Amino acid sequence: MGGMAARRDLWCPAQCVEGRFEVLNAPIIVGRDGRYLGHDDRRATYVCAVCGGVAIDLAAAARQMREQEAPMPATLTCPGCAAVMLPPEDDPLATLVECPTCGQRFSPEEGTLRLHGGSAGDPADSN
């Protein structure tokens, strides 16, 4: 109903060939006459209409895999003092990093230049 719905590629875990799924937890919007106007499937669960198995959304799984494969930035920039540093080698999946210059703790996401609006050449540049 609101924004563009995410692309789906639903499959039954029991491999039922019909390819029909019931949508759970998705509000359906109807007009005064009860006719379908739209729906919001952002929090929907899909189940196979034949066997009742919870559907596997291969498109959503592929999106999640792409997000998890995002490379760690080559360098981090401290949001406090703008010191540039390498990500920690001993814990590449660290949720917090401590700046060796000022001691501020921040997440690697906070230390990426794109979140600070800087360019790759100059962390202080705010284009």
Q: Please check the confidence at residue 114 and state whether its pLDDT lies above 80.
A: no
Q: What is the pLDDT of residues 63-96, one digit of tens each?
A: 888 877 766 557 889 999 999 988 887 776 778 8
According to DSSP, residue 89 is labeled: S
- What pTM did the predictor assign? 0.47
Segment 11-14 long-range contacts (CB within 8 Å, at least 24 positions apart): 11/55, 11/56, 11/57, 11/58, 12/48, 12/50, 12/51, 12/53, 12/55, 12/56, 13/48, 13/53, 13/54, 13/55, 13/56, 14/48, 14/51, 14/53
